[in-house]
């Protein structure tokens, strides 16, 4: 029964990775940019949720929504200031800019509030439920349910709304979409807003689950979410979801087997293996690129 418990914990952790990975994969699918500042948007969302709960006395859902809205605006601001002028630049220029934005956010937060960590307050009692002999915490269930709801909403937006259709059109062919009258700039901004909102939600969930947050907390989860996006197939939304869940379960299994020191390394071992044996990812298809 311990394995059932570990599986639930792995799925809960994986759902956090999946929420962050969705931002990576959406932005890459639209403008072929790896936004390495995305993990720091996740960190900012976690702090916004923390101050919403401690300073304003908000509950979990209002704090989550506030963090999502603030991170959506922050994501659009990053895109307009840092990335918009680089759409026709070389890939390496955009990549270096993304790393620079990441460092700017991290040390900007340290400058404003200091580097000391904070402890997330308990927003609800962490009860446990008996599930076929396994003790499942209410926090794990809450994280899982919240993540699933957000992913369902995202799928609805992408496949059933006007902006979702515009996003799919721009990701398929940006020039053809522009000729069809689609506002490409607004579509790209919407993509950054949705991806950043999901990262903000992941930040609040992460804070409640792990309790400790600090300004450099976005580095490792951000890298792991990027690995999850590559694992599922970068640019493919269902792939990011599946990749996050697979990575979370794999990490939990490694810890359960007594190799907790190798937990972070497991993600990078998975990345190396996927790049060797299936570079396009689980859902990706091999395509020839003209040089």
Q: For residue 58, what pLDDT is reported?
A: 87
**Coil, strand or helix at 128:** strand
Q: For residue 157, what pLDDT is reported?
A: 94
Q: For residue 288, what pLDDT is reported?
A: 54
Q: What distance in Å separates the CA atoms of residue 189 and residue 30, rounded to the nearest whole number?
A: 10
Q: What distance in Å separates the CA atoms of residue 172 and residue 25, rounded to the nearest whole number?
A: 14
Q: What distance in Å separates the CA atoms of residue 192 and residue 183, rounded to the nearest whole number?
A: 15
Residue spans of the chain under pLDDT 50: 289-291
Distant-in-sequence, close-in-space partners of 235: CB < 8 Å, separation ≥ 6: 25, 28, 29, 171, 284
Q: Are 220 and 267 in contact (CB under 8 A)?
A: no
Q: For residue 63, what pLDDT is reported?
A: 94
Burial of residue 290 (number of CB atoms within 10 Å: 0-12, 13-18, 19+): exposed
Q: For residue 52, what pLDDT is reported?
A: 94
Domain spans, the chain: 2-220
Summarised one tens digit per residue, pLDDT across range 59-104 is: 899 999 999 999 999 999 999 999 998 888 888 999 999 999 999 9
Q: For residue 31, what pLDDT is reported?
A: 87
Q: What distance in Å separates the CA atoms of residue 40 and residue 218, rounded to the nearest whole number?
A: 5
pTM: 0.92
Number of H helices, E strands in the chain: 11, 4
């Amino acid at each position: 029964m311990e394995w059932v418990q570990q599986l639930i914990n792995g799925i809960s952790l994986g759902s956090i990775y999946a929420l962050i990975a969705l931002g990576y994969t959406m932005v890459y699918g639209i403008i072929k940019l790896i936004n390495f500042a995305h993990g720091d948007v996740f960190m900012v969302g976690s702090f916004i949720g923390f101050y919403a709960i401690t300073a304003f006395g908000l509950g979990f859902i209002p704090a989550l929504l506030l963090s999502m809205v603030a991170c959506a605006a922050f994501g659009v601001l990053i895109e307009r200031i840092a990335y918009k002028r680089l759409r026709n630049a070389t890939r390496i220029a955009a990549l270096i800019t993304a790393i620079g934005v990441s460092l700017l956010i991290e040390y900007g937060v340290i400058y404003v509030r200091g580097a000391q960590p904070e402890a997330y307050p308990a927003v609800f009692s962490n009860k446990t439920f008996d599930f076929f002999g396994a003790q499942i915490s209410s926090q794990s269930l809450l994280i899982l349910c919240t993540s699933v709801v957000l992913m369902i909403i995202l799928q609805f937006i992408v496949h059933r709304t006007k902006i979702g259709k515009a996003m799919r059109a721009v990701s398929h062919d940006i020039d053809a979409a522009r000729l069809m009258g689609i506002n490409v700039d607004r579509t790209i901004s919407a993509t950054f807003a949705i991806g950043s909102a999901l990262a903000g939600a992941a930040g609040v969930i992460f804070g409640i689950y792990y309790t400790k947050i600090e300004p450099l907390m976005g580095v490792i989860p951000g890298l792991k979410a990027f690995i999850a996006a590559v694992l599922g197939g970068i640019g493919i939304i269902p792939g990011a979801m599946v990749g996050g869940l697979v990575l979370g379960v794999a990490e939990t299994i490694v810890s359960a087997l007594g190799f907790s020191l190798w937990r972070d390394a497991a993600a990078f071992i998975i990345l190396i293996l996927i790049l060797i044996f299936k570079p396009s990812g689980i859902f990706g298809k091999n395509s020839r690129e003209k040089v």
